Every structure is written in structure tokens, then in C-alpha cells.
Structure 1
Amino acid sequence: MRAAAQRVADTASAQGHRVTGGAALPVEVITEPATDRVSATVAIPHPAGVGMEARHGLLKRAAEANGFEVTGLEPGDGG
């Protein structure tokens, strides 16, 4: 799971988006131990992250480029 999440994060980072100050937009993989299942989250831990996702869909595109189906993010579909 972590390896798949890291591939998505690497794909998102490779898109080259930058924050206002010129630094690369940070993309991280976060794993938290759970008792009933393995999980990993790919996140943009920066205030610009929400806007970047809304404008460019960089995490969604990165996930799809790695073979994942992303649902629930379009207006009107419960996302």
C-alpha cells in the first residue's frame, strides 16, 4: 500500500507545481496504523494544496496515472 501511495506522490511531485515563494509544492505519504485495515494517504501539507487540487487536480491525475479509479470528487456526486 505504501509503495503504491509513494508512486502517486512521486507522480504528483513530478508535475512541477510550485508555491508562491517558488519552492516545490510538498506532496507526502502519510500512513497511520489501523487495527482493521492498511491505509495510506497522499496529501499536500501546504495551505495552497486545496487550491492546487481544485485548479489542477494534481492528486487525482496522479492517482489515475497510476491505475487508480478516483470517484467522489465531482460536483453533485457526493464528493
Structure 2
Amino acid sequence: MSGQLISRDEVAKGWAERVGVVVSGLNALVDRLPPILEGKDRAEMWRLIKAEVYELRRAYAEEGEYCPQVDVE
């Protein structure tokens, strides 16, 4: 794919799919978090929420057609 142009529509579709991952993940938190957090102390809630946010970020940053894996030094 290096050095080739792609259509704006293709790029828009690819990024819309990534945004959809985030939106779905955020919407899922509404149902997922209450039972997970119930009865936990503040520190445990913090740890659990941080883990959920990490997974959402990981899903968004996952390698894809327009987001190849790159090594950062």
C-alpha cells in the first residue's frame, strides 16, 4: 500500500469503523460497569475502570488497513 493513493470514501469508511468500535465500547460500559463495580472499594473500582478503558483504547488502536503496525523507537 506504500506510495499508493486511496479514495477519500475508503478512508472515511475505515475511520468510521474505528469510531464505531469506540462508540460501541463506550455504550457497553453502561451495562458492564455497574455489576463489576458493585461492592468494590474505591481503589478496586479505579483498577477495574482503568482496565476497561485500556481495552477500549487497544481495540481502537488495533492494526488495520489504514493503520499499519509501526515500531516506535
* TM-score normalised by the chain length of structure 1: 0.31
Indicate the structure (1 or 2) with the bigger Cα radius of gyration.
2
Looking at secondary structure, tell me which structure has more helix per residue.
Answer: 2
* TM-score normalised by the chain length of structure 2: 0.32
Looking at secondary structure, tell me which structure has more strand per residue.
Answer: 1
